Amino acid sequence: MINTSFAQSSLNMELLDRWHQDSLINNTSEVRYSDCYGFVWNGKEYAVAGSTEGTHVFEITDDNTFVPKGFVRGRFSNTSVSHRDYAIYQHYLYAVCDEGVSSLQIIDFQYLPDSIHLAAEDTTLFGRVHNIFIDTAQAKFYSCIHRSTSSTQIIEAPMKIFSLADPLQLTELWSGPGDVIEVHDCYVRDGKAILNCGFDGLRVYDFTNTVSPDYLDSKTFYQDQGYNHQGWLTPNGKTYIFADETNGKQVKKCSFNGSAIAITNLFGYNHFNESVPHNIMANDTFAFVAYYNEGLRVFDLRYSPPLEVAHYDTYPEENFFKMNGNWGVYSNLPSRRILAMDRQYGLFLLHFDQQAFLGVPNEEVSVVYPNPLSENAQLTVRLPNPVTAFEWELTDEAGNIVLSGSLQDQNYLQLEPLIASGIYFLRLKYRDYLDDEQQEVLKVIVL
């Protein structure tokens, strides 16, 4: 079922589409959905959604619509399913589940946009698995909190590594590490792996030599520590962001030099009210945090600490239990459209204009850029956080109104004013964080 009639608190983020299917089996908590993923095939973008029943694949059309392209029922399809995870290698989608008598399902999507099909299913090496990650450069498959079919309720290994030399028949390379109870999740790039080890903290390894990996670093104890859950390394390899899945714990920004990690900032939203961050993706500028009850939150990493610049609250309710709501996020699509999966409300397609925030950063004052600007160029105006609505007028030197308008649920404005060269004044009216009315006048020079 495709339905976009969903309204909820937002800032600088637009809902494009939402998929949910009320006929899916669920328990009294109404949890139907778990993780989401995205990929590109033959120039088209696709979304993957995990549910209590299995794996759903959608084409994301140019007009911002989810179009169903196929469904693969999980080996274990049950109301108790709340964990499915995904990864991509070549033209295969790998799917695992952490409930019941499960398996590794390998879904072939090479025939999209026509169809998908289950190409292979491993029930010998794989039973219940919590999370997976694929290091494409080294063709290695990382399986976290690994259970085989023969011992579905017992953790066989904190993590196992498999070769993808044959993408349809994985072979085991390594099992460990021996000094932790579990590896809940991991991020791996070119053999360098950062392991999220729950209450044992972080570990860093180099698995280039998988038989005899190099131990590089650990963070067994650190500030604001909870259950070390998941993290993401920025594309430039210099910043690692991770979350502790524990009530009231903040997100951690870290420096990373390729071997050692150092926490530099704590940040987040509503942690004083016991909020819980969950899954994270990041680029070199922004961190995208699936924040359970608080929805999807976007933070600008150029600030110290990182500053929230956008959000979309996927979960309308508020209750004592803080782990309903936004479970997963995928922010790496070329179009920069964002996928967010809410445990109760399904798969969201969202738009956040990253380009509008890549100019001059601002904290406490409004900024306009570029200024001066060329005739007919685009003008960007950003108001200070947490402004969520404002009115504006662009006047000439004589005080004549050239353009005007108002905006809700965002604190930036982009204009292509189509005006002649000269001096103009942008008049802004808004309410600040104390709910006091503020007025500003910014000079704009058009060359």
Q: Please, which pLDDT band fits residue 218 given cuts at 50, 70 and 90? A: very high
Lowest-confidence pick of 3-17, 71-85, 326-340: 3-17
Mean of the per-residue pLDDT values for the chain? 93
Query: Beta 422-431 vs 437-446: how paired, if at all?
Result: antiparallel
261-298 per-position pLDDT tens digit: 999 999 999 999 999 999 999 999 999 999 999 999 99
Residue 274's contacts (CB-CB under 8 Å, 6 or more residues apart) are 247, 248, 322
pLDDT value of residue 148: 87
pLDDT over 60 at 5, yes or no: no
Say what the pLDDT of residue 151 is.
66
Residue 12 to residue 271: CA distance in whole angstroms:
21
Asked if residues 45 and 334 have their Cβ atoms less than 8 Å apart, the reply is yes
* pLDDT at position 171 over 90: yes
Long-range contacts of 67-74 (CB under 8 A, 24+ apart): 69/112, 69/113, 69/115, 69/116, 70/115, 70/116, 70/117, 72/105, 72/107, 72/116, 72/117, 72/118, 74/102, 74/105
| pLDDT at residue 434 in the model | 81
Give me the mean pLDDT over the 13-40 stretch. 96
If pLDDT is split at 50, 70 and 90, which confidence band does 39 have?
very high
Residues 105, 95: contact at Cβ < 8 Å? Answer: yes
Domains of the chain: 10-357 (2.130.10.10), 367-446 (2.60.40.1220)
- Whole-angstrom Cα distance, residue 52 to residue 145? 20
The tally of CA atoms less than 13 A away on the side-chain side of residue 152 is: 15
Amino acid 191: pLDDT: 98
pLDDT for residue 195 is more than 70: yes
Q: How confident is the model at residue 386 (pLDDT cuts 50, 70, 90)?
A: confident
Per-residue model confidence as pLDDT tens digits over 407-438: 999 999 988 866 788 999 999 999 887 888 99
Residue 4 has pLDDT above 50, yes or no: no
> What does the radius of gyration of the chain's CA atoms come to, in whole angstroms?
23
Residue 7 confidence (pLDDT) above 60: no
Question: What is each CA distance from 39 to 66, 94, 174, in whole angstroms?
Answer: 14, 12, 28
State how far the alpha carbon of 204 is from the alpha carbons of 84, 197, 256, 260, in Å: 25, 10, 10, 7
pLDDT at 418: 67
Q: What is the pLDDT of residue 194?
A: 98
């879904």: which residue's tokens? 107
Question: Cβ(193)–Cβ(183) under 8 Å?
Answer: no
Instruction: Name the band, by pLDDT with cuts 50, 70 and 90, for residue 78.
Output: very high
pTM, full prediction: 0.93
| Closest C-alpha among 234, 237, 193, 233 to residue 217 | 193
Say which residue, 149 or 172, is predicted with more confidence. Answer: 172
Whether the pLDDT of residue 6 is over 70: the answer is: no
Q: Which residues contact 341 (CB under 8 A, 6 or more apart)?
A: 33, 34, 35, 36, 49, 50, 290, 326, 327, 328, 329, 347, 348
Q: Name the more confident of 81 and 379.
A: 81
The average pLDDT across 313-338 equals 94
- The pLDDT, as a whole number, for residue 201 is 97
Q: What angle do CA 91, 352, 9 make, to 5 degrees?
A: 120
What per-residue confidence (pLDDT) applies to 324? 95
Provide the percentage of residues in the chain whose pLDDT is more than 90: 82
Asked if pLDDT for residue 142 goes beyond 60, the answer is yes
Best CA proximity match to 407, nearest among 385, 423, 387: 387
The per-residue pLDDT for range 241-251, each reduced to its tens digit, is 999 999 999 99
pLDDT range class, residue 2, cuts 50, 70, 90: very low
pLDDT for 442 equals 92
